[in-house]
Amino acid sequence: MINEKKDIFSGSASATRAKGLKGEIRVPGDKSISHRSVIIGAIAVGTTAIDGFLAGEDNLSTINALRLMGVRIKRTEESTVVVEGGGMRSLKEPEDVIDAGNSGTTTRLLMGLLSAQPFFSVLTGDASLRKRPMKRVVEPLLKMGASIAGRKDNSLLPVAISGRRLRGISYSTPVASAQLKSAILLAGIYADGETTVLEKERSRDHTERMLKLFGADIEVKGNTVTVRSTKELYGCKIEVPGDISSAAFLMVGALITPESELVIKEVGVNPARTGVVHILKKMGGSIEVLNEREVCGEPVADILVRSSRLKGVDITGGELLPAIDEFPALCVAASFADGVTTIGGASELRVKESDRIAAMASSLNALGVKNTEKEDGIIIEGRDVDIEGGVVESFGDHRIAMSMAIAALRSRSGVEIRGARSVDVSYPGFFDELERLKVR
Ligand code: S3P
């Protein structure tokens, strides 16, 4: 089965300038939490009712995969999903290949889950996903006793998985990756004994929080997580907070335009995700995190952003990890900051939905922003002046497309974005919402 979903490379958008972003907005639900809510709900006993689910294409790929395994999932409204879970041993052998589309999270989390199921399954995805590294996930699962075979010596999709009885392992991950950690934990709840994952730096911990909420025996100490063999998980009510990775584009848009005052309501502010707030504040951004509270085990807050004069800064790999998906948005902030911004220690960016270092370097070049591409990051020579505009590509990457729409806010003649349809992966309705907030 060859799947060439060309549509993320289709569509074009004419993004235009604005004096500011003003008003209040709720961004769509968190992509990472939405994936986990349906996956964990599917293997829990009873009903998991999810509010604020992100109906982006990545999350719909996860729903489709679970439906192929016999899970009953209803979408009652745009962002309300009800999963009727049948328990840890209820999944059925899918009759067809599971197509994860553009979604790395769907693929890697399901690889962990499928390794422990008593059946055969095959996972594949679109052209971008078929280039992304899978060996990092296959290796620990093989150590647990899984049977997996993938293209190019187990490093690329498609992969075929024959589920087995697994044994717990203790594993130090070579890269700080929440998808990798989550795959091992989802296999670990089925494995005999204990499964421990040690990370050098702590990646996002949504899986740990949600497994705990559903009743798993899980313990977190610093950068180490241990799960024990679990008999059953129990369905929960989940409220998904707004995705800070989507909010980041609007935050940058508000900062770099002169007449902005924007409140982004009910955003997830898990400390493993708020790197963008810290970095933008370090650049001189006026950002206030208000009304912080906890909802379904995740911290949530409202974020107030005002126009600010930004300055260039040095951003290290450690600082970027909790803002790893915000690299495109941060590059735009750096473009309109006074002085040089250096981002380093981030070679993982080369294996995201696109090679995000190369994609941003070439997009900024097309807009006349001086930059130097490095193997593990980028150097941007920022200037607090408007750009002319131009034509850019999304590289089929939702976050590159949205960052270009934000850069367009400071363009004289606008930016034509080719492949704008990719934004549907994580933020359906993004362009309309941006128009609504614009001060002209
Ligand atoms: C994600 C983890 C991160 C992130 C991705 C979502 C997740 O990827 O970039 O957008 O939901 O677990 P890695 O695990 O590859 O770092």
pLDDT at 182: 99
What is the pLDDT, as a whole number, of residue 122? 98
- Closest C-alpha to ligand 1, atom 15: 177
Q: Is the pLDDT of residue 168 over 90?
A: yes
Q: Within this chain, do residues 96 and 223 fall inside the same structural domain, yes or no?
A: yes
Average pLDDT over residues 242-255: 99
How many degrees, rounded to 5, is the angle at CA 147 between CA 144 and CA 149? 125
- Which two structure tokens, joined as six digits, stand for 424? 């549907």
pLDDT grade for 42, boundaries at 50, 70 and 90? very high
Specify whether 249 is located in the same domain as 107.
no
Residue 4 has a CB neighbour count (10 Å cut-off) of: 9
**pLDDT tens digits for 101-112?**
999 999 999 999
pLDDT above 80: residue 202: yes
- What local confidence, expressed as pLDDT, does residue 3 receive? 38
pLDDT tens figures, 357-409: 999 999 999 999 999 999 999 999 999 999 999 999 999 999 999 999 999 99
With bands split at pLDDT 50, 70 and 90, how would you rate the model's confidence at 2?
Answer: very low
Query: What is the Cα 170 distance to its own chain's centre?
Result: 26
Extract the tokens encoding 308. 């600010």
Number of domains the chain contains: 2
Mean pLDDT for the stretch of residues 236-257 = 98
Q: Are residues 312 and 402 in the same domain?
A: yes
CA of 243 to the centre of ligand 1 (A): 13
- Domain termination residue (choose one: 186, 208, 239): 239
How high is the pLDDT of residue 8? 79
Nearest protein CA to atom 10 of ligand 1, as residue: 325
**For residue 211, pLDDT beyond 80:** yes
Indicate if the pLDDT at residue 4 is higher than 70. Answer: no
Last residue of a domain, one of 224, 239, 254: 239
Residues 218 and 245 in one domain: no
Instruction: Kindly state whether residues 13 and 77 are assigned to the same domain.
Output: no
Taking the C-alpha atoms of residue 171 and residue 287, their distance in angstroms, rounded to an integer, is: 38
Task: Please give the distance, rounded to the nearest whole angstrom, from the Cα atom of residue 76 to the centre of ligand 1.
Answer: 28
Q: Measuring CA to CA, which residue among 363, 410, 412, 413 is closest to residue 384?
A: 410
35 CA closest ligand 1 atom index: 11
User: Ligand 1 mean position to 129 CA, how many Å?
Assistant: 13
List, for residues 249-258, the tens digit of each pLDDT value.
999 999 999 9
Q: Are residues 334 and 272 located together in one domain of the fold?
A: yes
Q: How far is the CA of 410 from the centre of ligand 1 (A)?
A: 30
- The vertex-28 CA angle with 24 and 30, nearest 5°, equals 125
Structure tokens at 321: 């990890």
- Given ligand 1 and candidates 40, 177, 402, which is best to mutate, with the most ligand atoms within 8 Å of its CB? 177
Q: What is the pLDDT of residue 5?
A: 47
Position 339 pLDDT exceeds 90: yes
Query: Does 326 score more than 70 pLDDT?
Result: yes
Are 99 and 121 within 8 A, CB to CB?
no
C-alpha pair distances (Å), 297 with each of 33, 127, 268, 438:
11, 35, 11, 34
Q: Which residues line ligand 1 (CB under 6 A)?
A: 32, 104-105, 177-180, 182, 203-204, 324-325
d(CA 211, CA 228): 11
Q: Assess contact for 252 and 287: CB atoms under 8 A.
A: no
pLDDT the model gives residue 130: 98
pLDDT at 9: 81
pLDDT of 291 over the 50 cut: yes
Q: Which atom of ligand 1 is nearest to the CA of 109?
A: 12
The share of the chain scoring above pLDDT 90, in percent, equals: 97
Region class of 368: left (phi > 0), else alpha (psi between -120 and 50), else beta: left
Q: Bridge partners of 263?
A: 24, 304
Same domain, 57 and 206: yes
Q: Which domain holds residue 299?
A: 2-29+241-439
Closest ligand 1 atom, CA of 179? Answer: 14
Q: Looking at the structure, do residues 47 and 102 belong to the same domain, yes or no?
A: yes
Does 95 share its domain with 24? no
- Residue 2 contacts by C-beta under 8 Å, 6 or more apart in sequence? none
Which of 203, 219, 239 is at the close of a domain? Answer: 239
Statement to judge: residues 219 and 256 lie in one domain: no
Q: What is the mean pLDDT of the chain?
A: 97
Residue 1: per-residue pLDDT:
38
Query: CATH code at 158?
Result: 3.65.10.10
Task: Measure 202 CA to ligand 1 centroid, in angstroms.
Answer: 12
**Residue 402 neighbours by CB under 8 Å, 6+ apart:** 246, 249, 328, 329, 423, 427, 430
Q: Say if residue 80 is in the same domain as residue 145.
A: yes
In the block, tokens 């009873």 appear at 46
pLDDT tens digits along 55-107: 999 999 999 999 999 999 999 888 999 999 999 999 999 999 999 999 999 99
